[in-house]
Amino acid sequence: MVTAKAFASAKQRLSPVVPAAARARLAEALLANTLEAVASCREIDATVAVVGCASGAAVARARADRTVEDASNPGQSGAAELGASIACDELGASHVVLLPADIPLVTADALATLVHAARSRAIVIVPDRHGTGTNALALSPADAIRPSFGDGSCERHRALAIASGRSWAFLRDSRLALDIDTVDDLAAAASSLAGRSGRTAAERELADAVAAAAASADLRPPAGARLGSPAATTAK
């Protein structure tokens, strides 16, 4: 399942340098691209999207099996719990993958790698590129632990996994490691997507939206910022 904030309030950390319209366009493009990657992954049977605005719901309904518009701003963890509950109660899911929408390098193959890792572990934690946040969480069963996203969530999820007594693993995959929260993240995304020939309209729009946001911030991609290497699993 995929979570996304209301477009108008998304990417607030970029607000000092990226105008509101460019941030909203970026948030919409990220959601569309992530949902299309999920829909293209053969190992995923159904998609639930929990979004914070009507525009997000319109994007999601074209790509997800079940869309929930929740303007109450429950936070990523609350939205993830809501989506997981719907996936189990309404769609019969016993295993869930929890994703934020803002993962610009996500691919169907990366998600398949995560699903395969989850077949041998009850809990799979995908750290962000800094090793502090969590960019994806696979749970089997769906209530193996309660999601606790946000700053420092990687360590919290590790502690919850250990306390649960269930098998767990880290999956480090650069295709899932980059999210766009800060100006440095935006520069890294711009570098990684520059010159990439998108296969879908969503991929092309994402590349354009990232480039436009980076240009508005007058960013220069940092040297060596290009990402996309294979995944590595650390089992526990």
- Specify the CATH number for the domain of residue 213: 3.90.550.10
CB 175 within 8 A of CB 228: yes
pLDDT value of position 235:
55
Q: Rounded to two decimals, what is the model's pTM? A: 0.91
Helix (H, G, I), strand (E, B) or coil at 97: strand
Q: How far is CA 235 from the centre of its chain?
A: 22
pLDDT value of position 225:
46
CB neighbour list of residue 122: distance below 8 Å, 6 or more residues apart: 139, 140, 141, 144, 164, 166, 167, 168
Count of domains observed in the chain: 1
* Token pair belonging to 166: 């269930």
Cis ω before 127 (30° cut-off from 0): no
Per-residue confidence of the chain (236 residues) as pLDDT tens digits?
Answer: 999 999 999 999 999 999 999 999 999 999 999 999 999 999 999 999 999 999 999 999 999 999 999 988 789 999 999 999 999 999 999 999 999 999 999 999 999 999 999 999 999 999 999 999 999 999 999 999 999 999 999 999 999 999 999 999 999 999 999 999 999 999 999 999 987 766 789 999 999 999 999 999 887 654 444 455 556 666 55
Per DSSP bridges, beta strands 96-100 and 134-139 are: antiparallel
3-state secondary structure 146-209: CCCCCCCHHHHHHHHHHHHCCCEEEEECHHHHCCCCCHHHHHHHHHHHCCCCCCCHHHHHHHHH
Closest CA to 29 of 100, 104, 99: 104
Closest CA to 189 of 231, 135, 230, 225: 225
* Token pair belonging to 1: 């399942």
pLDDT value of position 198:
66
Per DSSP bridges, beta strands 168-172 and 123-127 are: parallel
Which residues constitute the domain of residue 62?
A: 2-235
